[in-house]
A and B are shown apart, each in its own frame.
Chain A
Amino acid sequence: MNDLLIIGAGLAGLTAAYSAAQAGQTVKVIAAGMGVTHWHAGTIDLLGYSADGRGVARPLEATGDLPAEHPYRLLGADRLSAALTDFTALTAELGLPYAGAQNAGDNLWLPSPVGAARPTFLAPAGQAAGDLSTSQPLLIVGIEGMRDFYPKLIAENLGQQGHTARHAFLPLSLLTPRHDVTTVQLAKVLEEPSRLAQLAEALARLVQPGERIGLPAILGCDDHPAVLTRLQEATGVPVCEIPTLPPSVPGIRLHTRLRRRLEEMGVRVEVGMEAINFGAEGERILWVATETSSRPLKHRATNFLLATGGILGGGINSDQTGRAWEVIFDLPLTIPQARSGWFRPHFLDGAGQPVFQGGVAVNDDFQPIHPDGSPVYANLWAAGGTLAGADPIRERSLEGIAISTGRFACENVTPAANPIT
């Protein structure tokens, strides 16, 4: 039997699995499918916008202004900083180094797929080179026929915001004889030295001295650091990746490396397993069952961590009557249980929408609690997007919450007194 069963293989679940495995616990991770790591930009957004909608320059300092029930406030500034330091060290060790702004503690402002400036705190080194806080001109290069990446739009939008940017296209045939490719397939193509050399040559011809090059985030899967270095050497200028629409290669790289490390540590990560039920005795959860081709499969553990995400991640569901519920344990939610309470009159209201601000309320130890503050179960913890008290999409705090609560939610979890194997 495992010490800890984690439900959810997003950033929160995987980070928690790493922390617990490092602490010597036996851990298993189950997940319904691949999740948010395959959609998001691979960056760690910490806090991009304050409650009044203004951009945050120094996010760690601004967390003190968040409401008391916000996951960052529950963690406290020290643990939040420690989680970021740990993440930076871990990704460097995994060969996928992350970097922050040149001025330590500032947010990076990176070009989004539509050319907006997007605040984030830590980014893969390749993306960090696109920081719009510096004035170096950008050459945005797209691939003709590649879906959902529009260099002209990006350059024009950047120009309207006062940045110097131009765009260019390269033919798809430079990279592949195929006519229709996904971002992941293109990224794998660029791990072939001959294709990479062709791209490097073409870029060297396009770029002018003093520019930096912005490319869609397809610069290699597993060999990304080598691909990036090769392009920078060939062109003599900084090369940065701009995230694409899903599937997101930078997110997949992070997921893949983290998961591989976990597997090396003996953590089983089982995807395609949908939790449908659980069993409890008194205040302890005994098992979580997943759906199979025949009978439910029970996963027993001493302790359990819920990391299934919020409405986007599938950890919280809702129906047309206005009911919203946590899908596995039916935990108490802070989401209004009436549709009239879900949204404010204005779609883009600066104060955000109540339905996205609710979630699973937890105590200081990240244990889900009843409205009176008492833990719902003695051996259940929660982390990541499922937590109440934050508005991750509006705040730009999704991944920051995931890695910090994932890192510390199980800090006080004690393994089985008498582990049965």
Chain B
Amino acid sequence: MHNTSWHSVGNSMDECIKCNICTSYCPVAEVTEKFAGPKYSGPQAERFRALDQIAAPDHSVDYCSGCRVCNEVCPAGVKIAEINARARAQMAAQNGIPLRNRLLGRNELLGKAGSFAPALANFALHNPLSRALAEKVMGIASQAPLPRWSTDGTFSDWLAATKHQRLRSAKKVVYFHGCATQYYEPFIGQAAVAVLEHNGYEVIVPPQNCCGLPLLSNGEFGAAESYHRGNLARLAGYARAGYPVVGTSTSCTLTLKEEAPELLDLHDEATLALKGATWDIFEWLRELAEAGELRTDFQPLGTDGQPLVLPYHAPCQYRAHRVGKPSLDLLSLIPDLEIRESHARCCGIAGTYGYKVEKYRIGMDVGAELFDFVAAQGPVSLTACDSETCRWQLEHGTAIPSRHPIEVLAAAYGMYALGQRRMIGE
């Protein structure tokens, strides 16, 4: 049995056969010359990045968005995106990290801070004057789609308020909500809890940290590691006890599974236990479906005999999960729902990439492929995507509201209002 996946990030560069397939698929290199392309910035430049070298040979690797199209199409198993991520960390270590990147990396802190007075925070962040100032002073693109803090309280607030209604069951699952659900979109977590409970599972929500991905992609590996260790302390026990840990944010679950262990070189027992227990929620639900244990009491989602037409874009992180398109597999079970699958490479936001003033335009140009796809579907009322920042970018680029597939599933179970984004009967 041979497989290339055992290769460490660094060693995988030796598998590169210089075919340039990655460069020809790279959505960033296609729209800007500032990024030389995955082959050059990845396995090729890596040869010059010996640890004792004082300066990294090229700064264009900073323009890699980390979308991982390169990893997907590489026939030789080179871990190009990871090579690039490490190179960015090396640059950050050498050149320092701008305040802007430090801020963008601190999702949890920002989320918490704004949640004390969300309405005020929304006004402070979203008025044109402060956006202009943020661009000028911090380099955060004034048009980029920043989220709004939830004014209905956090996801934890909702859990506490509905404690008496929550299902108790012998079958239990741990839910990792991530920062976006906690502070900006608690309704995603509500939909997830509803779907899991509807299938007979009690949902455990332990206290948790940011997964650390925004820090990893901005090259702050040290800070990312302390977040990861925080999560290990709170979640590894459940993993060891055999509970699945499911998440609705495809980036958070990817970080727990692979990004943190691989980029931070963590191979301790707790990290591996959590890696082995973590699932994307649809990846996990698909297993239930394949075992014949998923409830299929779906209500049709169409109106007036017309099916609901839903353009669906699988986020780049699914590419990195390497689990196919599990939400597509499940949504296709819902009657009266016509999914239109996007084959666009990337929406362009790539985590925090598209928020940076020097990269905003690149992000929008990369996303044009997706926005054009949605426009070509005719008039639609909604789109769907599993990742929060991708949904925000999708809304920004198309002016059409976007939903997480778990909201669609909860709606198909008759428990969730897809338009108003709230639980029915609460």
Contacts and interface: CB of A to CB of B under 8 A. Distances in A.
Interface of A: 32-35, 38-39, 178-180, 182-185, 188, 246-247, 252, 263, 268, 270-277, 290-295, 297, 300, 313-314, 317, 325, 327-328, 330
Interface of B: 1-5, 19-21, 23-25, 29-30, 33, 36-37, 71-77, 254, 257-258, 275-276, 278-279, 290, 319-325, 341, 343
Given A274-B4, A294-B275, A330-B1, 7 more contacts: A32-B4, A33-B21, A33-B74, A184-B24, A271-B72, A291-B3, A327-B2
B323 A38 contact: no
A33 B37 contact: no
A247 B24 contact: yes
Contacts of A277: 1
Contacts of A247: 19-21, 23-24
A87 B319 CA distance: 31
Contacts of B275: 294
Contacts of B321: 292-293
Contact of A276 (B5, B254, B325, B341): B5
21 contacts: A33-B75, A35-B75, A39-B19, A183-B24, A247-B23, A247-B24, A252-B24, A268-B325, A272-B73, A272-B319, A274-B77, A276-B1, A276-B5, A290-B322, A292-B323, A293-B320, A293-B321, A293-B322, A294-B276, A300-B290, A325-B2
B20 A327 contact: no
Contact of A270 (B1, B30, B320, B324): B324
Contacts of A292: 321-323
A246 B20 contact: yes
Contacts of A291: 3, 5, 322
Contacts of B29: 182, 185
Given A274-B77, A277-B1, A294-B258, A179 B324 contact: no
B71 A182 contact: no
Contact of B3 (A33, A295, A325, A327): A327
Given A182-B23, A274-B4, A294-B275, A33 B77 contact: yes
A34 B19 CA distance: 11
A291 B323 CA distance: 9
A37 to B, nearest CB: 10
B242 to A, nearest CB: 14
A414 B30 CA distance: 44
Contacts, number: 106
A272 B72 contact: yes
A297 B286 CA distance: 11
A313 B2 CA distance: 13
Nearest to B36: A180
Contacts of A274: 3-5, 77
A161 B300 CA distance: 69
Contacts of A268: 324-325
A327 B276 contact: no
Contacts of A270: 324-325
Contacts of A179: 33
Contacts of B276: 294-295
Contacts of A184: 23-25
A184 B31 CA distance: 12
Given A33-B72, A35-B75, A273 B37 contact: no
Nearest to B23: A182
Nearest to B324: A270
Contacts of A34: 21, 25, 73-75
A246 B72 contact: no
Contacts of A178: 33
Contacts of B325: 268, 270
A182 to B, nearest CB: 5
A38 B19 contact: yes
A330 B2 CA distance: 9
Contacts of B319: 272
A320 to B, nearest CB: 14
Contacts of A271: 72-73
A39 B24 CA distance: 12
A185 B71 CA distance: 19
A297 B282 CA distance: 13
A94 to B, nearest CB: 16
A32 B75 contact: yes
A183 B321 CA distance: 30
A180 B254 CA distance: 34
Contacts of A252: 24
Contacts of B21: 33-34, 38, 246-247
A32 B258 contact: no
B33 A273 contact: no
A95 B358 CA distance: 40
A180 B72 contact: no
